[in-house]
Structure 1
Amino acid sequence: MTGAPEPLDRLHPGVVHHIVNTLGWPGLRPLQEEAIEPLLDGADAVLLAPTAGGKTEAASFPLLSRMAAESWTGTSVLYVCPLKALLNNLLPRLETYTSWLGRTAALWHGDVSQPRRKRILRDRPDILLTTPESLEAMLVSANVDHRAFFSGLRTIVVDEVHAFAGDDRGWHLLAVLERLERVVGRSVQRVGLSATVGNPEQLLTWLQGSERDKRAAYVVAPHLREENPVLPPPGEIQLDYVGSLENAATVITSLHRGEKRLVFCESRRQVEMLGESLRAKGVTTFLSHASLSMDERRRAEEAFADARDCVIVSTSTLELGIDVGDLDRVIQIDAPSTVASFLQRLGRTGRRSGSTRNCLFLATDEDGLLGAAALLLLWSRGWVEPVVAPPEPRHIVAQQVLALCLQEHRVGDRLWQEWWGGLGSFGPSAEPIVRHLIEEGFLERDGGMLYIGPEAERRFGYRHFMDLTAVFTAAPEFTVLAGRKEIGTTNPALLTEEVAGPRRLLLSGRSWQVTYIDWSRRRCFVEPVEGGGKARWGGVGSGRSASYELTRSAREVLLGADPPIALTRRAEAALAQARDSGAKSVHPAGTVVIRGGRDTNVRWWTWAGYQANVTLAATLAGIADPLQRPTDTYIRLREDLTLDEWNRAKASAIGQLCLPAVDTRAIHGLKFSAALPQRLAEATLAARLADLDGASAALKETSRFVSAGD
């Protein structure tokens, strides 16, 4: 009696032949084997594996086999990624795999030339690699017959799906996919590829959108079944305290010579400063961050892939699956904001046979040290953040209704909801948004039909409504040019602030002297100089707040918990000092309220994270300091607060939490907020600023009321 067929037997013989003979693989990894059956059967799935876990192959091998078996024609698979660089990196692999079966793959994003796009429209590739923004641009473009082009679509693969789901790009992606399914006229299989997350089942349900419960769905994650997942050997994860970025450069210079090292920083400014310091010490150094030009980043990635004794310094731009060659070491300056980010970065190492995964943390101050220790404590327990979509994406709803009218030219004023199949905020709750769009002239209504109005033309009509399909607001930065060569972009504040002497910028790890500023075209021209440059950007790395879980883990560290990793003597001494200085703000039995000390305010040390603390400050408005500036760790209360008032206020607040107040100026940072009623824009921001669970947990804890001198 023969047993059940091996999973490999279900793949197309041509795919199996090339796996064995072209790739030289002795077999498939567990993830790749377990993905075959659900994907061949047309189920939705999320494939989870650590970095370099073979997720691309786990999706592409069964989908290519199904493509051949079912004789799919035209563009039948969309492969969606969050980054153009990741798409560029994936294209050669997918071109190789498709060629095994006489199929094709092609790339479509903002950097693809017009002649190449025309060839793609004429000769539709079997797999099209793109971003959500480029996909929507195709839907609204007058040059693309989207119904004909997507008529053969069967499957959508979303790479790095966790990177989408946690912010508004995820809502935008889901909404575009819903519109695309209606254009195609059939339900389309959805496959997500993800690093490890804390809530894979919920991530899969989110990815299915309005199709949830209509199609079989599976989480494929064999590594999660391991009872004792293998951690790097003791000593391979190390925490050191260096005290400054300059000292970090000295340590990086002296350690691991002859090896290829990838250093992660939490801001572009840190990348620039560290890169300049390393180059000054004679280290071959490359840089990568979002404000460097595409050519600069590509040169760095290509050189780093081929070099050996060198360092690349990067923000999170190299955290995702872009290949940077045979890497020896990962070094982290201070700490990333999530355990999930650390797992991605750790996964960059240990790919070569005989090597192990490793990471050296270099803390530049006490906050960085405490943050790293807290993160490593959570990681050692196997905890990873759940990926949660931001609540109330009303501004994305407004954008999508406008984009739909641009796509279809006219949409029935009672039929627009059908395009999203009742997905989240895109259902009946969106009615007030559509009314506002009509009232303010963003939409016109005539004969029961909606179409683009003059206000939408005025605000978003630039270059064929390009601004409408670019969902996320970029800072108004200036392009920096050395002759005709684009170096990157810089904050305009560096070009307007008063300076004594020549104006100098730090970009791509080098100093540049500004020779001319073209204000109308937002360009500045520079020439290289020796030192003295300054770097500054808003957003990334500035004002980051820690989650409830990470802040609570930091409290545990102050109370004596050590992560099970290698601590240097300097790190041990600095942690001891931090525990000594912070001893009064933590207590194992609950939270602490301290009167007096550094100022005359009363501080409630919640250790609940910034979002929980702004929620608590709004809820306890009667006893909170009106000049409140909450932190991750505490909120300020009134100077004259008594113990009785405190107990009454705390008891009445439980179960009656308030959303934080929103500064009306903050609304301008919400793209398409102009297309929302102000009250709805404020409500959206308030819901996103709050942490009701963390605030509730802090309120329910016992609190000690003490004086600073006790």
Structure 2
Amino acid sequence: MERLDTVLLHHIVNTLGWKTLRPLQQEAIDPLLSGTDTVLLAPTAAGKTEAAAFPLLSKMAAEHWTGTSVLYVCPLKALLNNLLPRLETYTSWLGRTAALWHGDISQPQRKAILRRRPDVLLTTPESLESMLVSVNVDHHAFFGGLRAIVVDEVHAFAGDDRGWHLLAVLERLQRVAGRPLQRIGLSATVGNPEELLHWLQGSAAGTRPARVIAPHLRKPAHTPPGAASAPPPGDVQLDYVGSLSNAATVIAALHRGEKRLVFCESRRHVEELGETLRAKGITTFLSHASLSVDERRRAEQAFADARDCVIVSTSTLELGIDVGDLDRVIQIDAPHTVASFLQRIGRTGRRPNSTRNCLFLTLDDGGLLSAAALLLQWSRGWVEPVLPPPEPRHIAAQQILALCLQEHRIGDNLWHEWWGGLGPFGPAAAPIVRHLVREGYLDQDGGMLFIGPEAERRFGHRHFMNLTAVFTAAPEFTVLNGRTEIGRTDPTLLTEQCAGPRRLLLAGRSWQVTYIDWHRKRCFVEPVDGGGKAKWNSGGLPMASFDLARAAREVLLGQTPPVALTKRAEGALAQLREESAETVHPGGNLIIRDGAGKDLQWWTWAGHRTNLTLAATLAGIADPLQRGDDLYVRLRSDLTAQMWKEATVDAADRLCLPEVDPRALNGLKFSAALPQRLAEATLAARLADLDHAAQVLTEPARFVDFRA
């Protein structure tokens, strides 16, 4: 601790009242002061922000950094809003400043930031992109003093295209600053922290010092080799309630006087559960992405200040937003990853002498099996590896266009230098550049590239705002009560036939539609008593991974997670095992022909992507009309054991990528800026799981025929 700035250290001891730092915070000091790229790994509420901020502020003071020298990047605006007061306090101790820049920041506030550059800027990747391409920001002047970048919840970026976008923007910022930028990632537990750090380093991977700091993962010295690990600490219960209304009854009856955070896997469930709890007299607040910012803030603030209450949320409250002194987490069905569960249970147990806890309330057989499988993997200490999606060609197209906006014109042989040779954005993107020129997205003249008419037409709306975000939001209508925005709803709720007045369920209340402004995508409502309906286009259910699908198979074969099961859960699980006995076998996979002889299913228990890959590889014997499934592949009804043997004998050596419906490319933003064959190849690579498909093809398969 003596290496920290003395003024900062004084305030840590006297203002915060800390007698010492936590292990993560202590271990981060030397690497961060020496400029090492790091990933700081710790459970929720372990002080990761301070572990990064204190050494960087000490270094800022010692080396006399000027201007905006530290960026603090988060995936959510709400998380940034929550962090700002803390970082403003810490910077003020040293006579420094921190400020916030994202989509909700007003123009006057932005102008003030540009005039008086803060030492620490809290922002999102999309806002960084908008600053780089804006004609109102002199990015060379503003970012010229950059020294370090902190990426909070880095695992939330790395697993999707926002991560590729973030890496590419960081490479451009590094070139603007004219110096290497120290990169610090903050993360909850992940299955592959070393790979995550390598990813975060971008083009500098392998050339700069790097270190993962994760004191909580260090095994005790006395642990014998090969010893079975005990279940992670925490009070976890699994219950089966059968319906959402039953879940509301249980929540209303249990844990009176406590502050409870309930996670649901859909916005519709949040709305329906919230409405039912309020009808039972429970003080209830709601949070999800389709509620207005003001509505969410009011709910979160009220929840933070209240005691005997419930807040019902989607994953919007999963990441480290402070919701006060929380007593209990309740999970409806199961989250889709162990990593999400770790984030959620980590919201509890923060007070002295309290334990982390989570009560699972499952609504049907599928929810019960998914929860049991997830808890089985959790009990083994397993967490999903965070893997960036392969072949982000559409992000490369977006980045080339954004760079031309940023610099106005780029040498047609120099554009790739901006990304320092980072894989998909380097010379490998040359065919994409040729396509962009050929289709008019870029113009080329005198050895220079600049924005062309097609890019203006497709992405030029509101100063190229559509070019700064790499995800596509589903179209929604804004719902207004007078001048007050309540949130947004799916447009199909406003078009589908209904008997009587049209009513919506939003913010846990029912509203009657009084007027629809189709041109401006707005609808006006008045409050009513009940009858509202909630609906959003979620884009399809998340796909089960290979590991969780296999864990579900283990549960059906008799493995039970070492958590407390209610009698209802035990009975439902026993019945589920009995009903599913025909689809699982400890010796391998089953190929089952139904009693009518018309349906043949290969029960792989291998997950959605693996099964898509298997169906494409075995196209000659797979049913061409099947839909992807997590648990089985549908085969041709006339398949015989001999035909199966001939089709699979060397199939593991000739795996194929899944077929792609061209209509699916609509969900891949910027796919229009790619040749169609490259866009389809990108999506096919993301739908495939070649390694696990090869594994399944080596496993024994047994034919079972239920025909009389």
Give 2:377's aligned residue. Answer: 378
- 3-state SS, counterpart of residue 276 of structure 1: helix
Per-residue CA deviations over 1:201-221 (Å, capped at 9, x if unaligned) read 000000000011221000000
Deviation (angstroms), 1:470: 2.1
Contact 1:232/1:356, CA 8 A, preserved across alignment: no
Identify the residue that residue 638 of structure 2 maps to in structure 1.
640
Matches within 5 A, 1:106-121: 106-121=99-114
SS of equivalent to 2:499: coil
SS at 2:519 equivalent: coil
- Corresponding residue number in structure 1 for 2:279: 280
Q: Is the 8 A contact 2:155 2:190 kept in 1?
A: yes
Task: Tell whether the 8 Å contact from 2:597 to 2:707 is kept in structure 1 after alignment.
Answer: no
Matched, 1:471 2:464: no
Cα displacement (A) at 1:351: 0.3
One-letter amino acid of the structure 2 residue matched with residue 98 of structure 1: T
Match of 2:511 in 1: 512
Aligned partner of 1:662 in structure 2 is: 660
What SS is found at the alignment partner of 1:683?
helix
Q: Secondary structure at the match of 1:107?
A: strand
Measured on the aligned residues, the alpha-carbon RMSD in Å equals: 1.2
* Match for residue 13 of structure 1 among 2, 6, 15: 6
- Which residue of structure 2 aligns with residue 4 of structure 1? none
The match for 1:68 is: 61
Residues 108-164 of structure 1: CA distance to partner in whole angstroms, max 9, x if unpaired? 011111111111111111100000000010011111111011111000000000000
C-alpha deviation, 1:230, in angstroms: 7.9
Do 2:239 and 2:568's aligned partners in 1 also have CA atoms closer than 8 Å? yes
Name the residue aligned to 1:77: 70
Do residues 49 (structure 1) and 42 (structure 2) align?
Answer: yes
Aligned counterparts of 1:603 and 1:597: Cα–Cα separation in 2 = 12
Can you list the C-alpha shifts for 1:437-470, whole angstroms capped at 9, x where unaligned?
Answer: 0010000000000000000001111111111112
Match of residue 400 from structure 2: 401
Q: Secondary structure at the match of 1:487?
A: strand
Percent identity between matched residues is 76
Classify the secondary structure of the residue corresponding to 1:297: helix
Deviation at 1:599, TM superposition (A): 7.0
Shift of 1:651: 1.4
Find the partner of 2:16 among 16, 20, 23. 23
Find the counterpart in structure 1 of residue 678 from structure 2. 680
Query: Match of 1:296, SS?
Result: helix
Distance 2:595 2:478 in 1: 47
1:630 CA displacement: 2.5
- Once the two structures are overlaid, the 10-residue window that deviates more, 326-335 or 10-19, is 10-19
Displacement after TM superposition at 1:428 (Å):
1.8
- If the length of structure 1 is used for normalisation, what is the TM-score? 0.98
- Partner residue, 1:161: 154
| Matching residue of 1:565 | 563
Q: Residues 597 and 538 from structure 1, CA distance in 2 versus in 1: closer, same or farther, beyond 3 angstroms?
A: farther
**Aligned mate of 1:628, from 622, 626, 629:** 626
Residue identity opposite 1:103 in structure 2: R
Q: Secondary structure at the match of 2:261?
A: strand
Instruction: Output the CA distance in 2 between the equivalents of 1:213 and 1:338.
Output: 30
In 2, the alpha carbon distance for the partners of 1:473 and 1:608 equals 29
Quote how far apart the aligned CAs of 1:87 are: 0.2
The 2-side partners of 1:233 and 1:48 are apart by 18
After TM superposition, give the deviation of residue 15 of structure 1 in Å.
Answer: 1.3
Who is 1:389 aligned against? 388
Corresponding residue for 1:543?
Answer: 541
1:50-71 CA-partner distances (Å, limit 9, x unpaired): 0001000000000000001101
Aligned twin of 2:573: 575
SS in 1 for 2:590: strand
TM-score by length of 2: 0.98
1:601 Cα deviation from its structure 2 partner: 1.2
Matched position secondary structure for 1:654: helix
Letter in 2 for 1:142: V
Counterpart amino acid of residue 56 in structure 2: L
Letter in 1 for 2:327: D
> 1:122: which partner in 2?
115
1:3 is matched with which residue? none
Instruction: State how far apart, in whole Å, the 1-side matches of 2:101 and 2:145 are.
Output: 17
1:372 is aligned with what amino acid? A
Alignment of 1:296-335 (within 5 A): 296-335=295-334
Evaluate the alpha carbon distance shift between residue 368 and residue 131 of structure 1 in structure 2; reply closer, same or farther with a 3 A threshold. same
Checking the alignment, whether the CA contact within 8 Å between 1:105 and 1:125 is kept in structure 2 is: yes
Matches of 2:105 and 2:190, distance apart in 1: 33
Runs of 4+ in 1 over 2 A off after TM superposition: 226-234
Deviation (angstroms), 1:598: 7.7
Q: Is the 8 A contact 1:121 1:149 kept in 2?
A: yes
Shift of 1:709: 5.8
**1:95 correspondence with 2:103:** no
Paired residues of 2:232 and 2:379 also in contact (CA < 8 A): no
Q: Distance in 1 between matches of 2:267 and 2:651?
A: 41
Take 1:577 and 1:598, find their aligned partners in 2: how far apart are those partners?
A: 25
Q: Counterpart amino acid of 1:519?
A: W
CA drift of 1:231 comes to: 5.4
User: In the aligned structure 2, how far is the partner of 1:206 from the partner of 1:76?
Assistant: 22
Please list every run of 5 or more consecutive structure 1 residues that lacks an aligned counterpart in the other structure. 1-7
Query: How many corresponding residue pairs?
Result: 701
Contact 1:232 1:358 in 2 (8 A): no
Secondary structure of 1:286 counterpart: strand
The residue identity in structure 2 corresponding to 1:622 is G
